[in-house]
Structure 1
Amino acid sequence: MNILCGSAGWTDKTLIACKRFYPPDCRSAEARLRFYASQFSLVEVDSSYYGMPSASNSALWAERTPADFTFDIKAFRLLTGHQTLREALPKDIAMAIPHAGEKNLYYRDIPAEILDELWRRYREALEPLRQVGKLGAVLFQFAPWLICGDEGRAHVEECAERMHGYTVAVEFRNNSWLNAEHVFGTLELLKRYKLVHVIVDAPEEVTNRAHTVWEVTNPDLAFVRLHGRNAATWSATGAATAAGRFDYDYSDDELRQLSTPIRDISNRAVRTHVIFNNCREDQGQRNARTLIEILRT
């Protein structure tokens, strides 16, 4: 089976606190990753969204996992157009950016020569995983205010060019990209740059999400991210963490229904990654295990 299933992260506080996934003796970062990798062959690294990844961490992850294990890496938030606190940047880079008292920085605020250095360090941080064949896709989850227009397309193209040679997956959050007017052009843009279109499962009734489009834009990889279907928490201002926002437990029936298009999409690509982003407690891990069993039957 060319379908790998896993969860978004393996260190969420609610996952550790629930004490249902990790054995009692898994108390260190190393022990938890080794145990996770004994259960699944794929994981998405989410910490790399909140802060710049490091080559030293990548090397440790590579050492602590089996030879056939795969890491999908979520791109650093500044690169995807999200607001970013200065403290999230490496200290020397943060100090080099002009300061006008603003709380958040955006991609457009960063001088060109500093952006060059930031991209260089980002690619460098991924190398230990790439060198041993454990780097899957680099996931660019673009900010919800990145709309389908000249500026938005230019940024997607820049990211593709900066990450040339890597497998880059793209998840849009603004519905303009995959609506009836723009879906064909968006998919053609992704195909032109060999970018992987991320197929999302999310609450149907919310408007601040991209449409679910079951298409493959890079024949090497199909990518599905399952965010749960909790409309009440999707846009809730009180949901301070991802675990709160994506609090949803897929039923077995829902997973059986999803298995049909997942199987179909897997026939159009060499590999298929399925990531559960419903990261409250052990929901994602349990759902991933269930889906694996369904796909095996």
Structure 2
Amino acid sequence: MIKIGLTGWGDHSDLYVSTAKDRLKDYSAHFPVVELDTAFYAIPSIKNSSKWIKETPDNFQFVVKAYQEITGHLRGESHYDSMEEMFEHYRESILPFKEAGKLSMVLVQFPPWFTCVKENVEYILKVKEELKDFELAIEFRHQSWYSSKLQNGTLDFLKSHHLHHTVCDEPQVGEGSVPLIPIATSEKVLVRLHGRNTYGWKNPGNNEKWREVRYLYDYNKEELTSIQNKVEQLQKQAKEVVVLFNNNSGGHAAKNAKSFQKMLGIEFEGLAPKQLDLFEGGI
């Protein structure tokens, strides 16, 4: 099974036919899965989690991103008195998704400075223990995890601890980016497509609009065909392949995802009622 979606539902103007408050409903008429990326910046309230669950069809799925303090991205002081308290709040916020049968997995994306060393391997196991009741997908951003000496060990580690592998497509610009390794380590595999904006990946800038630079990319048909081949390889290894387009900043993600769906010949069932289809042409 292949599911296709986008990272977040708020930045895809081509999908909306309703007011801003109904964007998730509009989104769920097109795709069966979404990445809840706002959970990275702040742990969602149970009220919001419950609201999003109610707004989506019964079989809709969320890939919930791990909070930035879990992954070591947090700059500045913690909002919590202890790591234990922080993890407890995070568990409480995502439990409604699991109880509703709408939690695909938790995405634990580590930063580019999270290298393949013993202490970091041990920390992954700590995160797994803290979130033991949830399925975890691990995304690395430092090349050391996939070096010629350590790649097999990395994949064996994920497999032995029943952790989903996150396969990434991103610019290859040094240690702060990882190669596309089409290998599943469990029954599910997550594919995140970040685009191939080499300049933006290397020079995102320090202003608040850095994401608009880094993820500005439009996949062409040849590139999507190459990714299709990789996804079909993964389909033979895992029961479920979740593909998320993260090239959001220029409005290309939804169009690329629709084209990719058409290339694969997939029709998603159980979507919300669709009032119109803006994507008949594709690429």
* TM-score for the superposition, normalised by structure 1: 0.85
Q: Distance in 1 between matches of 2:41 and 2:175?
A: 25
1:40/1:237 Cα in 2 relative to 1: closer, same or farther (>3 Å)?
closer
Contact 1:54 1:126 in 2 (8 A): no
Q: Is the Cα–Cα contact under 8 Å of residues 199 and 223 in structure 1 kept in the other structure?
A: yes
* Aligned equivalent of 1:3: 2
- For structure 2, the residue ranges without an aligned partner over 5 or more in a row are 267-283
Is residue 173–residue 202 contact of structure 2 (8 Å, CA) maintained in 1? Answer: no
Aligned residue type for 1:273: V
Residue equivalent to 2:71? 80
Which residue of the partner structure matches residue 101 of structure 2?
133
Provide the alpha-carbon RMSD of the alignment. Answer: 1.5
Query: Is 2:32 the partner of 1:33?
Result: no
1:111 corresponds in structure 2 to none
In 1, the alpha carbon distance for the partners of 2:14 and 2:136 equals: 33
Residues in 1 aligned to 2:84 and 2:175: alpha-carbon distance in whole angstroms: 35
3-state SS, counterpart of residue 57 of structure 1 = helix
State the shift of 1:51 in Å.
1.0
Deviates more, 1:249-258 or 1:60-69: 249-258
Amino acid of the structure 2 residue aligned with 1:11: G
Match of 1:232, as an amino acid?
Y
Paired residue secondary structure (2:15): coil
Cα deviations by residue, 1:133-168 (Å, 9 ceiling, x for unpaired): 000110011011111111111111111111112110
Residue by residue, what CA displacement relative to the aligned partner does 1:87-124 show, whole Å, maximum 9, x if unpaired? x73xxx2xx4xxxxxxxxxxxxxxxxx11111111011
| Partners of 1:241 and 1:261 in 2: CA distance | 29
2:219 equivalent to 1:233: no
Is 1:287 the counterpart of 2:253? The answer is no
Identity level (%)? 32
**In structure 2, C-alpha distance between the alignment counterparts of 1:276 and 1:243, rounded to whole Å:** 15
Q: Which amino acid counterpart does residue 212 of structure 2 have in structure 1? A: A
Question: Separation in 1 of the partners of 2:243 and 2:3?
Answer: 6
What is the letter of the counterpart of residue 19 of structure 2?
Answer: R
Q: Distance in 1 between matches of 2:234 and 2:210?
A: 31
Contact in 1 for aligned 2:112/2:176 (Cα 8 Å) = yes
Task: Determine which of 211, 214, 221 is the counterpart of 1:245.
Answer: 214
Q: Which residue of 1 aligns with 2:230?
A: 261
Deviates more, 1:252-261 or 1:62-71: 252-261
Q: How many residues align?
A: 264
1:237, distance to aligned residue in structure 2 (A): 3.9
Of 34, 38, 43, which residue of structure 2 is paired with 1:47? 38
Q: State TM-score, norm by structure 2.
A: 0.89
Deviation at 1:180, TM superposition (A): 0.6
Alignment of 1:1-297 (within 5 A): 2-12=1-11, 15=12, 19-23=13-17, 26-29=18-21, 31-86=22-77, 89=79, 93=80, 96=81, 114-219=82-187, 221-238=188-205, 240-296=209-265
Partner SS for 2:84: helix
Structure 2 residue matching 1:84: 3-state secondary structure? coil
Contact kept? 2:32, 2:61, Cα under 8 Å: yes
User: Helix, strand or coil: the match of 1:275?
Assistant: strand
More off after superposition, 200-209 vs 283-292: 200-209
* Structure-2 change in CA distance of 1:143 and 1:205 (3 Å): closer
Q: Is the 8 A contact 1:179 1:211 kept in 2?
A: no
Checking the alignment, whether the CA contact within 8 Å between 1:206 and 1:231 is kept in structure 2 is no
Using the TM superposition, give the Cα deviation of residue 84 of structure 1 relative to its aligned residue in structure 2, in angstroms: 3.0
Secondary structure of the residue aligned to 2:242 is strand
Give the deviation of 1:235 after TM superposition. Answer: 2.3
Q: Structure 1: any 5+ residue segments left out of the alignment? A: 97-113
Write out per-residue CA displacement over residues 203-251 of structure 1, whole angstroms, 9 at most, x where no aligned residue: 13444112221111112x0111100001010021426332321110001
Deviation (angstroms), 1:21? 3.1
Secondary structure at the aligned position of 1:218 is classed as coil
Q: In structure 1, how many angstroms separate the alpha carbons of the residues matched to 2:95 and 2:210?
A: 29
Distance 1:168 1:194 in 2: 8
Counterpart CA distance in 2 for 1:67 and 1:241 is 36
